[in-house]
Structure 1
């Protein structure tokens, strides 16, 4: 019997099992390979302040990257690529590099750098999804991470207005066209059975197809590639037909019930820790921003009555 496998990941919405690319990659691969992973969405965030998901637990091990999790599954006989030949395995590496180089920057830009999307959509959605106090700082943290990545990859902060958007969108459209041409009329990239390449491509494309971005230039181009849209819909219908993650429009009563069942054992402790964390953060901000200052006065500057010397005195001693 396989060891118990659990995974923490970001929540989903709009018919997606998760909104996070790495989480989608692992979840899709696990479904393709038949790996019985118990998924927890947005669990124990107070232990994961970096908000980096997925986090995978199995046989006393904790893994924190999609590739290491998939490799672990393969080592435990959950291998969706077992029937592939050497050329096909090389193709997976090539397309992985293509997606990371050409499509990932555009996704980061769409989610976190595009001003309209960030202020009207991404930040409000993540803030609404997470509990206090994490909803105050994690969206900004995710944005800074995306900006830093774009700066390293494309020199984003040093480009003229609009230049970064034009560059990343041009590369993304080229990548989408390549994927569409490669897929053609096949159900999956290597035929009738999905592999790790299908999980990888799905993780990139599914949010583009389903997430309602206000600024949706790249999304329009993706939806014009009908075979890619059908590819994502096919995977969602076959492998995530009745996903337990309800969208944010679900009745509040049912959401509260499910959260209470999960959080009851440590609910009070978590609430106390959240309040303490928030208080510490606010005090720290006040100190570092100069809103609160302390003045140390030596005892030698005090007179016998405990009042300050006349030279710097703001008060008059009472007779």
Structure 2
């Protein structure tokens, strides 16, 4: 947590640009800062109240990391894995945490340096897990669906939504796949979210005076036109 967000050199040069490439434009410049602020809040319990640009290897957060590494180091011992010769759930969990310390290429890779230099067996354990058959087995990736939201449903998927609903050719009844109740409920919530976003933005714009609607009474307009015509005739008589 500190290595990614508390060390400003790592955050500015690597972490924030990485999120910038992965996130959509609407949250690209907001979400990384929110994550940085959340990380600062979580780090306060360790007595760290500010982010630093230059961090010494003896900084207190690294001493806390060393204590955790030492406990894992002693538990692993001379074994290849924590409970013998084959990996278990604990090995997978430990690897998931340590891999984030060991492998990312950061300007200040202090945690990686500590692991390789002071706790080499943990580093070797991560390499062993990384090359194991378990992690090499391809995972079946299930299709994802965007969760309905007041704004993101309209901002991020408006083009797809309108194309699918209005422009996509209608398939024959035979080729249609019957939708499940979950899909129907999801589409209903998404439609409600999009309509709600449009109504909210319209009311907000009008309420704050960003756009004003002026109503002109036709009878008053005619009276004004007649008055202007009379004034013009009077001016001509005066000139004569």
After TM superposition, the score normalised by the length of structure 2 is 0.54
Among 124, 129, 134, the residue aligned to 1:230: 124
Give the whole-Å Cα distance in 2 for the aligned partners of 1:160 and 1:132: 28
What does the per-residue CA deviation read over 1:4-40, in whole Å, with 9 as the maximum and x for residues that have no partner? xxxxxxxxxxxxxxxxxxxxxxxxxxxxxxxxxxxxx
Structure possessing the higher relative contact order (Cα contacts under 8 Å, 6 or more residues apart)? 1
1:186 matched to 2:79: yes
1:157 matched to 2:49: yes
Q: Between Structure 1 and Structure 2, how many residues are aligned? A: 165
| Aligned twin of 2:5 | 112
Indicate if the aligned counterparts of 1:117 and 1:213 stay in contact, CA closer than 8 A.
yes
Among 233, 241, 248, the residue aligned to 2:136: 241
Among 203, 213, 219, the residue aligned to 2:106: 213
Give the whole-Å Cα distance in 1 for the aligned partners of 2:79 and 2:126: 13
Give the whole-Å Cα distance in 2 for the aligned partners of 1:184 and 1:160: 35
Which 5+ residue runs of structure 1 have no aligned equivalent?
Answer: 1-107, 246-261, 288-292, 296-304, 306-318
CA displacement at 1:123 relative to structure 2: 0.8
Give the whole-Å Cα distance in 2 for the aligned partners of 1:117 and 1:236: 24
Indicate if the aligned counterparts of 1:110 and 1:117 stay in contact, CA closer than 8 A.
yes
Indicate if the aligned counterparts of 1:173 and 1:218 stay in contact, CA closer than 8 A.
no
Give the whole-Å Cα distance in 1 for the aligned partners of 2:86 and 2:63: 31
| Aligned twin of 2:156 | 274
Q: RMSD value over aligned CA atoms?
A: 4.3
SS of residue paired to 2:29:
helix
Give the whole-Å Cα distance in 2 for the aligned partners of 1:217 and 1:160: 14
Distance 1:160 1:188, change over 3 A: closer
CA displacement at 1:264 relative to structure 2: 11
Runs of 4 or more consecutive aligned structure 1 residues displaced over 6 Å after TM superposition? 158-163, 262-265
Q: Which has the higher strand share?
A: 1
What does the per-residue CA deviation read over 1:119-147, in whole Å, with 9 as the maximum and x for residues that have no partner? 00111111212233232322222212211
| Aligned twin of 2:171 | none
1:139 matched to 2:21: no
Report the structure number with the largest CA radius of gyration: 2
| Aligned twin of 2:15 | 122
Correspondence 1:286-297 to 2 at 5 A = 294=209
Which 5+ residue runs of structure 2 have no aligned equivalent?
Answer: 147-151, 159-193, 211-219, 221-231, 233-240
